[in-house]
Structure 1
């Protein structure tokens, strides 16, 4: 490989080196052969370290999938690279929720937590010390409901900063999973599990696929037990699929939301990948919520309509979406893993699906039922 060719090629990026993570479109360059990836990485990192070429500042390694993320290049790659690497757009991803509801003063146990019968399981399990990676917008570290449930996590947008939430979505998700302040605030599904916030999304709730891949990589490396991914995209990404598959093979299960477009027969990625648990939303009447995407690929439904949870600056807000449903399922899995820590992702998925409570009749293609913690724990005891 010719190092000068690499530098010359990367120079032809529409995104300047001074603004490597600006508004320009990005691509992911994946190397099927690990030797090719190692050589490419070694060469670019060595040149960047020596300050030989500042345009390499925008190249980000994605070790989990043997790839790099960099601005989309305006010219053909060098001849030696063709056939050795695969290009894919580093597509934008959006956190998923419907327009925000009102700030509320409700306290205690939210209806969704009660509905899945989590409180009736707390005499057996509270999710004690189960590690939950929440790839999202961060979390409000000052929130009294989450004070005892948070570890530092990581901010992928600003590596030296705490993953502080500047959007609200990640705080809402984390509250449903693990809030632990019943007397003054609220309590989540698994109040003694530990949230590791992974801030991959900015204040607008937007990230690149590469940010998600880096988030999954961090969760695998730091031995999370389960990952919550309350977001989706319409297009298939082989890079994201590879990251999800690698996490699954490493023993880390990903719970993902199906999307809020009200579509029948179609759900978002990454929920559409078979190595995730795909979650749809129900309402208080145990009916599939009108906004939820649904298909035979849904693994489980859970409360997602008008869910009260933690919000920025120590407040609480009502929100709806399959994002909210996903956090109920993640919390339930934390309860399960505290009881049965050795379960594989495949075993967890089987338990969640087989123990589901049948849903009320409706106009929806359906195999999956609704999440029920007591039935889930009972099913696990028979393994």
Structure 2
């Protein structure tokens, strides 16, 4: 069966799907088979209406679309595997909306949130502010009009509707961006790396939900645009081969991926994609430098960071306190930006090793820092770059 015949069949299968049927990811048996179908898809999608709904996931050489549960496509040699395109959600515990500034440190008219201070970012700003480091925040978008973020935002993408800017309709993405790189010039907050550049990648809807294919397309966009860091403050419980392929592709191209580990309070397991060994896995701590009760924990975690009642930017120019390993991940992305601004040649595994070795122990029984995952510290991390 040639590519054109296969795509006509795919068109028919999509047409048979109902509202109850799920999205799936179609893998091809070879790079050549994928390339032939991808090229043919571009030629046929205007003629066959259902093919317009097929998403081409170039980074993993696969297609994503809705298929009937008993699809006949599984029987054909053009198909190596069909995997369910599962849902994935942002990692957030609770919110307490606020416009106050308690629990934060004032620096004139500017405010340094307590988490930014606790990771030691202000101690190293004389040496690094994350200048020119480009960070893809795969999330719910960003509030383009927030006064603390206006100077930190560069081109992004809305994967839910490519005709629109990645405006945030949830708040989570704006909050993450604020912790990483807010750069208030007057009355506002300062993030961990205030001169880093945020590229908002909207893959999540207003409910904080996305498909794995949305995340894969987001990783593809970040890699294609040669971003330095990808912040992934989200996760799911089940393994997904397609997501792993995308992570591996980004990793081998030198992109540093930082992900939250989940908010279930589990002691021996963490969520995907943080569970992939190529990812920097982040747990959350409290203001008293203890592991947060909601945070997943264990040896699979690479480093902890502040994640309880974190004060950051919110929609419509406001501020909000959120808790979760999402918030902790934003602190780590900021510190990694500080590192890369000093030493841009660092590779992902080097970053992970330095973060682990330079962390501050959270256990009184630990004989030395690094024996168990500890809390990130910018001063110690940058000192390690001299070695």
Q: Matched residues in 2 for 1:96 and 1:208: separation?
A: 15
| Equivalence map 1:168-187=2 (5 Å) | 168-181=171-184, 183-187=186-190
Deviations 1:97-141 (A, max 9, x none): 012112222260000000011001000000001000000000000
Deviations 1:27-61 (A, max 9, x none): 00112410111122222222113x1x111111110
Indicate the RMSD between aligned Cα atoms, in angstroms: 1.9
Q: Matched residues in 1 for 2:6 and 2:293: separation?
A: 53
TM-score for both structures, normalised by structure 2: 0.92
Q: Secondary structure at the match of 2:257?
A: strand
Of 23, 26, 30 in structure 2, the residue corresponding to residue 26 of structure 1 is 23
| Equivalence map 1:181-260=2 (5 Å) | 181=184, 183-260=186-263
Of 57, 61, 66 in structure 1, the residue corresponding to residue 61 of structure 2 is 66
Moved over 6 A (4+): 14-17
Equivalent residue, structure 2, for 1:95: 90
Does the aligned pair in 2 maintain the 1:152–1:162 contact within 8 Å?
Answer: no
Q: Secondary structure at the match of 1:100?
A: strand
| Equivalence map 1:93-132=2 (5 Å) | 93-106=88-101, 108-132=111-135
Of 16, 35, 40 in structure 1, the residue corresponding to residue 32 of structure 2 is 35
Is it true that 1:161 corresponds to 2:199 in the alignment?
no
Bigger shift: residues 28-37 or 251-260: 28-37
Q: Matched residues in 2 for 1:289 and 1:174: separation?
A: 22
Of 371, 374, 380 in structure 2, the residue corresponding to residue 375 of structure 1 is 380
Q: Matched residues in 1 for 2:6 and 2:251: separation?
A: 37
Deviation at 1:10, TM superposition (A): 3.5
Bigger shift: residues 349-358 or 166-175: 349-358
Gaps in structure 2 of 5+ consecutive residues: 102-109, 366-370
In structure 2, relative to structure 1, the CA distance for the partners of 1:15 and 1:324 (3 Å cut) is: farther
Q: Secondary structure at the match of 2:26?
A: strand
Gaps in structure 1 of 5+ consecutive residues: none
Q: Matched residues in 1 for 2:294 and 2:15: separation?
A: 38
Aligned residues: 373
Is it true that 1:138 corresponds to 2:132 in the alignment?
no
Q: Matched residues in 1 for 2:116 and 2:185: separation?
A: 12
Does the aligned pair in 2 maintain the 1:26–1:91 contact within 8 Å?
Answer: yes
Deviations 1:321-379 (A, max 9, x none): 000000000000000000001111111111111100111449xxx82010000000001
Deviation at 1:243, TM superposition (A): 0.5
Equivalent residue, structure 1, for 2:9: 8
Q: Matched residues in 2 for 1:287 and 1:361: separation?
A: 11
Does the aligned pair in 2 maintain the 1:26–1:70 contact within 8 Å?
Answer: yes
Does the aligned pair in 2 maintain the 1:16–1:55 contact within 8 Å?
Answer: no
TM-score for both structures, normalised by structure 1: 0.93
Equivalent residue, structure 2, for 1:301: 304
In structure 2, relative to structure 1, the CA distance for the partners of 1:226 and 1:78 (3 Å cut) is: closer
Bigger shift: residues 192-201 or 32-41: 32-41
Does the aligned pair in 2 maintain the 1:145–1:310 contact within 8 Å?
Answer: yes
Does the aligned pair in 1 maintain the 2:15–2:50 contact within 8 Å?
Answer: no
Of 312, 317, 320 in structure 2, the residue corresponding to residue 314 of structure 1 is 317
Deviation at 1:12, TM superposition (A): 2.7
Deviations 1:205-263 (A, max 9, x none): 11100100010011001010111000000100111011011101001010000000111
